[in-house]
Structure 1
Amino acid sequence: MVTCSKQSVEEEKHVEEELKKVESSIAILNTDLEQLNERKSNCLNKMRHLQDKISREGADVVVQKLFTLSQSLKALERHASDLQSHCDSKASKLQADVNELENVMFCGKDGKNFSDCLDSSLHNSLERLNSAKRELAIKLREIVWLKRQLDDVPSQAELIQYEHRFSELDVQIQEKLRKTRKYYATFNALLEIKDLMLKETSLLNSISSQFQGAISSTAGRMKLIDSMEGILTGTQQKLEKVQLTLQAEQKICDAVKERYATAIAEQRSCYSILKDFQEECAKNERLRRLSS
């Protein structure tokens, strides 16, 4: 029984100290309000003095002062209203705490009821703290998720590096395609040469087999000459076609060379522009790090 009474006395002393702290904070807030009211009254007195001075003197310079003082008065009134609302909210909160402490004090005279009330208040405080911790954990998870999403987005340097790799891969693919087309063209040319050689061989074999029989008579010789002239005409026509094809291919080759020279010039200009762009990006990154 003695220990219980001692505990109740200590708890009452603790509650009284809390009440004194609350009263002191309320007194501080009241003094702040009194100071603001004094400043407001001083501003009003200055405005009255300025009005009297305006009535006595000219209104050019005084009106400007009055305008500045009215602006400062409005700012002080806004500050006073904000402070008043803050003081009211603080006072209401402190009054609620005081009422809660009074309820805790007067909920029961013995130490058991007082300790039960304190336990319930502590339990409620712990519940509010746990709920705040849960909300904070949810916010932290959202922040971590957003940071991961930001990390997944490539930076400017990574995008430039990807562009370099893709351009190098495109150059390798174009080189491989050019070599493959060259091999196919060589194969087709060799195949055509083979066909022409086979035709020429068959023609020479036919001439060699028919030469002895055709040279023995005049009609055979005339027929052989006509056939040789026909072969020569066909060969010349084919040669003309081949020359026309060669000229067309030469024109295409010249056009490709011109496009290649133009592309080389554009590539050089693009490299210079890319170098300037990379330097500007590096400067931007340094400035961003300095600003952050």
Structure 2
Amino acid sequence: MTWCITTCNFDIDVDLLFQENSTIGQKIALTEKIVSVLPKMKCPHRLEPHQIQGLDFIHIFPVIQWLVKRAIETREEMGDYVRAYSISQFQKTHTFPEDEEFKQRKQKAVSTVVEVSEVYAPQRRYRRQADAGELLDEESRVHSTLLEYGSEYYAVSPNIINALKLTPKIMKNLLWVPQAEEKKQLLAQGAQSVPPGMAEVSEEEDLQAAEELRIKTLMTGMAAMATEEGRLTASTVGQIVGLQSEEIKQIAFEYAEKAERSAEDRPERYGPVQQHRRMVASLNKQIQQRTKELEEVRPALSLHLFKQDQYADRLERELSSLADVEAQADSGLLEKLRALVAMNENLKQQEQEFRTHCREEMTRLQQSIEDLKIEFGDEADDQKVLKSLPLLHILHTWCSTVHNERSQLIDQQYNTDREKLQKIRLLMARRNREIAILQRKIDEVPSRAELTQYQKRFIELYSQVSATHKETKQFFTLYNTLDDKKVYLEKEYILLKLRLMFCFCVYINRAMASSGAKEQFLRQMEQIVEGIKQNRIKMEKKKQENKMRRDQLNDDYLELLDKQRLYFKTVKDFKEVRILDSRILMSKVSAVFSQKILQHLITPHSLPQRLSSFVSLSI
């Protein structure tokens, strides 16, 4: 309980070290401190110190259950925080070899990435002049910027359009497509450079040649950078700005339409590509369909696998329980039962083999009958065949009779064994009930540990009562001593008073010198001396009584010590005699049991009778 309270982050005023043999006062103080902390924790159950000290299970169990639940919840709440804090503290002073290796590789990788980025960084080759004017179109500005860094553009061919599946809408957004007028000029310039024998070229090849010629024309107007930050010439910038974006988009749209018509007119050029695409699409569709089928079958297979795992776990638990039972059972009896079970299984197997042999023989005989029917003619019936084959008929009848008798014998033996097994089970149940009754009666008798615990509790209670009695006796003795002291002080006061009176009388005698006062004084002195003698005699008598009482108690103590020694010696002798008696009894029982087993083994009985006798002996 103290551990649970401290785990829940509540303070309790107890000693850190555990004391095993604490006194009653220490235990009560500890229980009072525990009970005082429980209301602070808002415990829903009430508990008193005497209930903890007396081990009142009915009232202690709910509190213990609540404390353990609260401690587990607190540990779960603080577990992540403590784990994260411990990891952070560990990482402040320690590192793993993987972390060191990662840091080294990280530095090398960062330096390599920086070097590669610097090597492949874009370098400016041209620059637009300041007096060339501002570009209003975003597409023109993009073209101009990319040309400044040396990027080249080509017209998109129909093959690329079909391969990439570009629609006319996408073609409108291409960076560059030649305008109509510019296309005519480029085609005319390209036609002048073509030889007469190659005048018939396709539109695609003409377009590609015109595009190359256009790029050469634009690049001749570009001014190369003298330094890393070079400038563009005014003519180059003017040509770039001269490209009108609206006309470019119009030409791109017309080009896309012509490319689609060209693809429809010449399907033989793209036949293998389309066939490959259809094949890929078909395979993808088959893959998706197969994946869908597998996903549908997967839950059922998962459920079947889960059931198989549960069945395997249950079989393993049953095997382990059977192994435990087998380990606790008698080995000799177990071997006999195993031999009997093996014999039973062997008989069942022989019966099955005999039935199989009979079926095969019957099948063979039927086949022989069919062959004979075919041989003697289809019109012959079974009676004629059997009359012509009396030996086969007799053999068939004998096999059927033997099979029926064997089946009846097996069924009769099975019914007899089942009835005996039922009787054995009833007998076992009756014996189990008797054993349970005896077990409950044995449990009602207190064990040695319980008696020892009761003895310890009575000894503690006796120690507490004895301490209280001793303290009370000391108080009585102190009171008597103080009372005697008071009496002596009063007497001393009287003596002092008499002495003063005597002195006064002396003065009076000196003054008056009378004989009567002298006699009175002597009488008083004699009375005082007599009182002192009586007190002395009384004290000596009391001293003698206390001495005699001490001697008597000492004699009683020595006598009790002798009785204790005799008791321990008697208990030791009794234990030795009991152990010897139990050994002799066990040897006799084992001898009788082995003799009974030998008699049952030697006496001729049937198999079920032996089995029942073995079971009854084991019970």
- Which structure's relative contact order is higher, taking Cα pairs within 8 Å and 6+ residues apart? 1
Query: Computing the radius of gyration over CA atoms, which structure comes out larger, 1 or 2?
Result: 2
TM-score bucket of the superposed structures, by smaller chain: 0.3 to 0.5
Higher helix share: 1
Q: What's the TM-score once normalised by structure 1's chain length?
A: 0.44
